[in-house]
Amino acid sequence: MDKPWFDPKTGILMLDEYVAEMPSFKKIMADNVVTDDEILTHADRVTELLHQLEGALPANVKPLATEAITELAVLYALHRLREV
């Protein structure tokens, strides 16, 4: 999955477009129902990928990646809180 993170014309982060293309998302959303089991299974997948990423990152890049992932999680949490 070697794609740019940002739209070259607008500079906008393209996560929404990539989420819609992901086979995992398509599979879970096929019936328009998200089950607890699907969330737990996907959480395991994300954890696996993060373990792989952590092991593959050079020491000088890991702090930046950690901060970026954490700030993305903060943004997600803020969006969720605002919806409540």
The answer for residues whose C-beta is within 8 angstroms of residue 44's C-beta and 6 or more apart is none
The pTM assigned to this predicted structure is 0.82
Q: Is residue 27 part of a domain?
A: no
Q: Is residue 64 part of a domain?
A: yes
Residue 74 has pLDDT above 80, yes or no: yes
Q: Is residue 71 part of a domain?
A: yes
Q: Is residue 76 part of a domain?
A: yes
Q: Which domain holds residue 40?
A: 34-83
pLDDT in tens, 13-66: 999 999 999 999 999 999 999 999 999 999 999 999 999 999 999 999 999 999
Coil, helix or strand for 4? coil
